[in-house]
A and B are shown apart, each in its own frame.
Chain A
Amino acid sequence: MLTVNGIRDDLMATTVLEIERLTKRFGGVTAVDGVSLRLEAGRIYGLIGPNGSGKTTLFNCITGVERRDEGRVVFGGGRIDGLKPWEIAQKGIGRTFQLIRVFPELSALENLLVVTRDNLAAARERALELLRFVKLEELRDEYAGNLSYGQQKLLEFVRVLMREPTLILLDEPAAGVNRTLLNDLLDAVRHLRNQGRTVLLVEHDMKVVMGLCETVFVLDHGEKIAEGAPGVIQTDERVIEAYFGR
């Protein structure tokens, strides 16, 4: 069905990621319940929802950290559900984690170098450029574990960029980051979008979501209850109900 007619193919050209009826259960709890969504190239998407609504689980299912129970995930024209996390990463999906996961006893520079197999000199140049970009160049030889929380967050962010992913998943990029840093980070995300990359971010800071995302998906109890432009989402009754109760 996907390859039969020309119209579908045309759509495929701009579709980066397609999730179809994805379900993930933990024992009796359905963390993600039949969620479908489609991401197009060169756009910034937001994924919001109350705590425990399944946002991070959905991230984990996309990146292979968790194995989905039902449904399919198509990326770059092929199914990726069932692949190992590193295979998915090599296909071009990069992610950050809700709780920072840098490599603490590797230096900032090593944190970046280690994720690429490009020629070392080129990788080094790119890594230094990225460190300059987030103003960590001076700290390149410092162990990542000795950096401040905000600095580690930035390091994790640019580590994702080392592989030049086509799709970038950011799990709460704004949490615990001061205003100045946050603005830099948001500029960086827009810059990535302008390069034709796609960004999907989980975020609790509504100002960030509303100011940055072009399309927002809302999850509640594992189900997608709304999808649309930020302005529309804000007035959606189901969304308001999910956040504030009836």
Chain B
Amino acid sequence: MIRRGAALAALAAVVAGLAAYPGFASGYGVRATLQIFMWIVLASSWNLISGLTGYVSFGHVAFFGAGAYTGAILVAKVGWPWLPAALAGGVAAVLLALVIGYPCLRLKGPYFAIALLGLNEVLRALVSYFEGLTGGGNGLSLPTLDATIPIYYAMGASAASVTLLTYVIITSRFGLRLMTIREDEVAAEAMGIDTARHKLYAFLLSAAGPGIVGALTARDQGYIEPISVFPLATTITMIVMVLLGGKGTVWGPVLGAVVLFVAQEVVWARYPYVHPLLFGAIIVAVVLLMPRGVLGLLQSRYRLPRTI
């Protein structure tokens, strides 16, 4: 109880600190933190489908891109304010997940991963093709607006929401049922768990966050193009963050997002050529040395509760 109180107090202090941060931070500090929030949303969302059910999505950036284009079009062509446009981005991503999830979640293992990889490429091609709406390969510019600080808060709220959602799911029997799909789908079904529906729910939940932060990113950057919002590298980064922090845990994706982002910033600024090398080295090290990630390792060694 005392430890729980202390953890909550520490958490409240961190949240308060981050809320006050733009008041005294440099422009770079706000921008970097905003991006950390974005990565927390992306990594935690990927964790919801892939970390829990074991269905590895190699196209998760598709939801980010779908949200980015939805938001950007609503802002640039329809004149919506950015906040409702961001929510619409989330809705669009969830709808896309519904359409794609229904057939794709029947696929197992590598077939599911490849199908989603294909989805991302298809979306990128479609966006390039429908020039009238999306600007095609030339990209889409949004009206100039300095909203970095409001977007900082929106990103922060998104990160907090997805983390809270993950906490609620993982500490519930719904979360355990998702994990049984990862552990042994045949046994899960034999025990009366409707795995198809559970996978779909997890997939829909995992698409909302990337859709929202995609739209926020589009607004924040003021310009998007197909290659900037549908890069495979973004999916890979989400995956590495989750594997590093601990898949299937609440705080693993958060830890992975913060550590990897900070490491990338530091190394990228000083040694740009070493950057890809570092990235590859982290992947190899995690897979070989601690396939469950930092928190997964601690969890299995010290029998930590699922609230971690």
Contacts and interface: CB of A to CB of B under 8 A. Distances in A.
25 contacts: A64-B189, A65-B186, A65-B189, A84-B194, A85-B186, A85-B189, A85-B190, A86-B191, A86-B192, A86-B194, A89-B191, A89-B192, A94-B191, A101-B186, A102-B187, A105-B179, A105-B182, A105-B248, A105-B300, A106-B180, A114-B191, A114-B193, A115-B193, A117-B173, A159-B191
Contacts of B183: 103-106
Contacts of A106: 176, 179-180, 183
Interface of A: 63-65, 84-87, 89-90, 94-95, 97, 101-106, 110, 113-115, 117, 120, 141-143, 159-160, 163
Contacts of A86: 188-195
Contact of B187 (A101, A120, A142): A101
4 nearest interchain CB pairs?
A89-B192, A103-B183, A101-B187, A85-B189
Find the residue from B179, B186, B188, B191 having the highest chain A CB count within 10 A.
B191
Secondary structure dominating the interface of B:
helix
Given A89-B189, A97-B190, A103-B180, 15 more contacts: A65-B186, A65-B189, A65-B190, A86-B190, A94-B190, A102-B184, A103-B183, A103-B187, A105-B182, A106-B183, A113-B173, A114-B177, A114-B193, A142-B303, A143-B300
A110 B248 CA distance: 15
B190 A63 contact: yes
Contacts of B180: 103, 106, 114
Interface string B136-176: 00000000000000000000000000000000000001001
B234 to A, nearest CB: 28
A101 B195 CA distance: 16
B108 to A, nearest CB: 15
Contacts of A113: 173, 176
A160 B103 CA distance: 31
